[in-house]
Amino acid sequence: MNDPSEINAFYKDAFQELGNIGAGNAATALSQMVGRTIGTSVPKVMIIPIEKVPEVVDANEQIVAGIYLKVYGDIPAKILVTFEHADLLALTDLLMGQPMGGGTSLLNEMRISALKELGTILTGSFLNALAKFLDLQMIPTVPALAIDTMPSILNTLLVELSQDARFALLIQTEIFETETRLTGNIFLIPEADALDTMIKAIQKAAGVIDAG
């Protein structure tokens, strides 16, 4: 698959549905974890060329949290989850069972651990939805966390991916509780021809091609 516009035109609904299912799974897991009603939504899903990622996310010098992990199995890939720095404390308030935006200004070791846990929940929810729908095996590694500017995080990742990735699946995700709403980006970046494997699996799941 060489033209992402083809994917966006014909498979956008499928990816959007996968995003919504994954978000629903994440909301359930987060709500159970903190004992409060947490909502999630997916306002945007799109396939973009890997070199276009910085301009799509408006990679300015703002500090962000980047949660990074690898995926093994039928679709080898990398996953990057990013949240703006302004949202980090509210996110960790959420995971620690405290009122969101409670005024704390320290991102300590406990809060960093909570951010990693958030990355595990979000990516696990989306990967489980994707693996179940496509009937494929996807095994995530333990996530790593970086807090830096978006360009620095993306540059490091893109150098690593330059030889074995062409496109990124962007799933923009909102997490909300009452009037507080936080937005993050989940990038699923398949290696080499793994995106073609995903497209064929979607076709099979939809009955477009013979399951045999």
Residue 212 is assigned to a structural domain of this protein: no
Whichever domain contains 59, its CATH number is 3.40.1550.10
Query: pLDDT truncated to tens, each residue of the chain (212 aa)?
Result: 555 555 656 677 777 888 888 888 888 888 887 788 888 888 888 888 877 777 777 666 777 888 888 999 998 888 888 887 767 777 777 777 776 665 555 667 887 887 788 788 888 888 888 888 888 899 989 888 888 888 888 777 777 766 677 788 888 888 887 767 778 888 888 887 787 788 788 778 766 655 44
Angle of CA points 177, 172, 152, to nearest 5°: 110
Cα 9 to Cα 210: distance, rounded to the nearest angstrom: 22
Inter-residue contact 162 to 91 (CB < 8 Å): no
| 61: three-class secondary structure by DSSP | coil
End-to-end CA gap in the chain: 21
| pLDDT at residue 163 in the model | 63
In this structure, what token pair is assigned to residue 150? 């978006």
Residue 210 is assigned to a structural domain of this protein: no
Q: What is the residue range of 179's domain?
A: 4-205
Inter-residue contact 16 to 133 (CB < 8 Å): no
Residue 211 is assigned to a structural domain of this protein: no
| pLDDT at residue 212 in the model | 47
| pLDDT at residue 29 in the model | 83
**How many domains does the chain divide into?**
1
| 42: three-class secondary structure by DSSP | strand
Q: What is the pTM (predicted TM-score) of this model?
A: 0.81
Q: Which long-range contacts (CB under 8 A, 24 or more apart) does 114-118 make?
A: 115/65, 115/67, 115/83, 115/88, 115/91, 115/145, 116/67, 116/143, 116/144, 116/145, 118/67, 118/81, 118/91
